[in-house]
Structure 1
């Protein structure tokens, strides 16, 4: 499976039709939140860093074999998250086979997602991603680390990760709300510079996922 996923990521022919997807999960949380986020991020990346991403974002269930068709999966929500044993095993296999998951707390997800991620990686701790990590270096520079997009609890933006054999396979962003910054401008009425900052950080995440 690892070899097959890497072929998808690296084959020049398939790069003409890269797809990214939103993760659908159980538990009652609004996995479908921020519907314009990924299409806008895809458009930004295609324009600014010359990717070729399908701007019609797919949806994939966490326990589905279709998960392995996407090099990058985005997960968001405000509430409860529940992974079955099959979900956890499928997601673990996906991530250790070259896939990448970005979990973005839309506010209210934190206490649920941390528990469920322990099912996926019982022996791997979430650790803070250092500001020296390459995900902050390009194509856009973020020397101070994760940007702050929306205020939640008056806490600094945080980036947590799970590393497997030195590779960041899962990025969990909290107290930043990147996905809100990717949405259509009229949804949250964020200033242009705030939205641009969110999109640039998103481009860095996608760039890392596609190339590592």
Structure 2
């Protein structure tokens, strides 16, 4: 899968990002493995030649049990993939990894890492996690406790690809269990995560669309999710622990980066956001 040529102008920042520390230990980690995607289009059959090489940054994908009457489109057992956590996976994850390699000096692994919070302390080896369709998670008490500890110890969680008021109810219910006393705040355009590499001065007014909504309904959103919201949760020091792209589908902009049907402006914005998010997570 090639990169859309019109994104290449952002390669000018390839020398702008340096890293001072390595955030994850390279031992005692779960092995790399591949699960079935939630979407047929996101399945990949071939692995990059260097998939087994360790790196400083890995795109972690949070595995979780589904609830709220949704999430078992291709499989019933979330631990085997094919449920809501695997939306845009693995194609979107690997596109992000490739973009980070191309546009930054971050040492990025070419493949993602599915992270099951029930696998002992494995989650603490992966300081960056994505949660797709998080409006449909149904976390156990043990998983709630593990995620709270993970985030307070420096982990970062990016919640994406969910639309509409019903999805928000499910997401907020889960997040309130993780952090019952921490507010979910609306992020302004001048938040550091939106300008740490690329200056995305109008990002909170933008909606990164879902491709199925675009070509099924002619709009970029699902359900009643017409208004994008960029939200977050901070720790006591003001570090953003959780980034919430509600009524947005950033991972679709990665997954469909090469598809001419996907809007170029949204594809490029998604790449820039991905760079900013990864660099913020690694440097905070």
TM-score of the aligned structures, taking structure 2 as reference length: 0.66
How many matched pairs? 204
Q: Report whether the alignment pairs 1:58 with 2:116.
A: no
2:85 corresponding residue in structure 1: 31
Q: Which moved more, 1:100-109 or 1:170-179?
A: 100-109
- Whether 2:162 is the aligned partner of 1:106: answer yes
Q: Which residue of 2 aligns with 1:3?
A: none
Q: Tell me which residue corresponds to 1:122.
A: 180
Q: TM-score, with normalisation over the residues of structure 1?
A: 0.87
Structure 1 unaligned spans of 5+: 1-6
The 1:81–1:16 alpha-carbon spacing in structure 2 relative to 1, beyond 3 Å, is: closer
Larger Rg: 2
* Structure 2 gaps, min length 5: 1-20, 26-53, 72-83, 210-219
Find the aligned partners of 2:259 and 2:133 in 1 and give their Cα distance.
16
Task: Measure, in 2, the Cα distance between the counterparts of 1:188 and 1:114.
Answer: 35
Structure 1 residue 175 corresponds to structure 2 residue 229: no
Assess if the C-alpha contact under 8 Å between 2:134 and 2:160 holds in 1.
no
| Runs ≥4 residues deviating over 6 A | none
Give 1 or 2: higher strand fraction.
1
Residues 204, 27 of structure 1: alpha-carbon distance in 2 compared, 3 angstrom cutoff: same
What is the CA-CA distance between 1:125 and the residue it aligns to?
Answer: 1.4
RMSD, aligned α-carbons: 2.3
Query: 1:140 aligns to what?
Result: 198
* 1:186-211 deviation per Cα after TM superposition (whole angstroms, max 9, x unaligned): 66821333211111111111110000
Which residue number in structure 1 is paired with residue 215 of structure 2?
Answer: none
Q: Say whether the 8 Å CA contact 1:156–1:175 is kept in structure 2.
A: yes
Alpha-carbon spacing, 1:188–1:121, altered in 2? closer, same or farther (3 Å): farther
Q: Equivalent of 2:280, from 198, 202, 208?
A: 208
Post-superposition CA distance 1:87-107 (Å, at most 9, x none): 011000000001100000333
Alignment of 1:141-160 (within 5 A): 141-146=199-204, 147-150=206-209, 151-152=220-221, 153=224, 155-160=226-231
Which deviations, in whole Å up to 9, do the C-alpha atoms of 1:41-81 show, x marking residues without a partner? 11111111221111211101133321111120000027621
